[in-house]
Amino acid sequence: MISLTDSQKIGMGLTGFGVFFLFFGMILFFDKALLAIGNILFVAGLSFVIGLERTFRFFFQRHKMKATGFFLGGVVVVLIGWPIVGVVLEVYGFFLLFRGFFPVAVGFIRRVPILGSLLNLPGISGFVDKVGESNTMV
């Protein structure tokens, strides 16, 4: 089992609540208040989990500046009051920021008994293969 510090446990809770509020805000027809709360909780939770310095280093790497601009710009647009445009910007920035983690996540999910068989269904497997492929030359 992984040992977590108290601040990391708090961060996991904040991130979980942030994802919940984001999901709930989208279900309730892009409710501005819920999406704003979800954004703030998600970013705060991320900084608690990995630390403030590592969060800044992650978001402000030179090759991730475009992705960071879209993601944080989407957060600002949601806070201003245009939730649909903001969520579109956030999702695009999120995929650009975390695309390096997708092959690892897909590989892990494929080893989970029930989820792995779902990812191998004919309509889903092509999409998952495309998302799970690594485009890096390392």
For the chain, residues with pLDDT lower than 70 are 1, 134-138
Residue 38 falls within a domain, yes or no? yes
**Number of domains composing the chain:** 2
Residue 1 falls within a domain, yes or no? no
Instruction: Name the DSSP class of 101.
Output: T
Determine the structural domain holding residue 38 and report its residue range: 6-98
Same domain flag for 37 and 85: yes
Q: Is 5 helix (H, G, I), strand (E, B) or coil?
A: coil
Same domain flag for 79 and 109: no
| pLDDT tens-digit readout, 62-84 | 999 999 999 999 999 999 999 99
Tokens of 15: 């991130």
Q: How many Cβ atoms from other residues are within 10 Å of residue 136's Cβ?
A: 7
> Which pTM was predicted?
0.81
Residue 105 falls within a domain, yes or no? yes
